[in-house]
Amino acid sequence: MMSETDIAYIAGLFDGEGNINYAKRREKKKKNGKVYETDCWRISMEIAMTDKSVLVWLHEVLGVGTLNPKPRKNGHKMQYRWRCVFRDCYQVCLLIWPFAHVKLDKINQVISHYGSQHADNVVNLDKYRRLYVR
């Protein structure tokens, strides 16, 4: 189990360096040889930085997502990106929610998205805070 200090540190990383994408986009799909358009949700979160060791630690501690190098631009240091999508993003949002400030609106959108679609999987955030935040 992760310590409260580690969770707070991860929330701080996301507030300072992270990005949370919660958007509905129109996309073309192909089924049975026919092309059609549909609305698709794109839910992801990522942190990109030059300090690989921090992202390796994050990836190991969270146990979700991918860690890849980003294409290098002329004269810039190598960057690395940790990224997770959909339900993994939802789980990380639940974890860091009690400590987030800057990204709290996007975190709440992700949590509400999954809570509204799966009523049996709704998390009571007040109860969560009482149990896990001291």
Look at residue 112 in the predicted model and tell me its pLDDT.
Answer: 93
Look at residue 75 in the predicted model and tell me its pLDDT.
Answer: 84
Look at residue 40 in the predicted model and tell me its pLDDT.
Answer: 87
Q: Which two tokens stand for residue 76?
A: 């810039």
The number of folded domains in the chain is 1
Q: What angle do CA 108, 92, 113 make, to 5 degrees?
A: 35
Query: Domain with 56 in it: what CATH number?
Result: 3.10.28.10
Full domain range(s) for residue 24? 4-132
Whether pTM > 0.95 for this model: the answer is no
Look at residue 34 in the predicted model and tell me its pLDDT.
Answer: 87
Q: What is the mean pLDDT for each group of 10 consecutive residues in the chain (134 residues)?
A: 93 96 89 86 95 97 95 87 96 96 95 72 61 62
Look at residue 116 in the predicted model and tell me its pLDDT.
Answer: 67
Look at residue 27 in the predicted model and tell me its pLDDT.
Answer: 86
Per the CB < 8 A criterion, the answer to whether 65 and 59 are in contact is yes
Look at residue 69 in the predicted model and tell me its pLDDT.
Answer: 94
Phi, psi (5° rounding) for residue 61? -70, -45
β-sheet with 34-49: strand ranges across: 18-31, 34-49, 80-85, 66-69
Provide CB contacts within 8 A for 34, sequence distance 6+. none
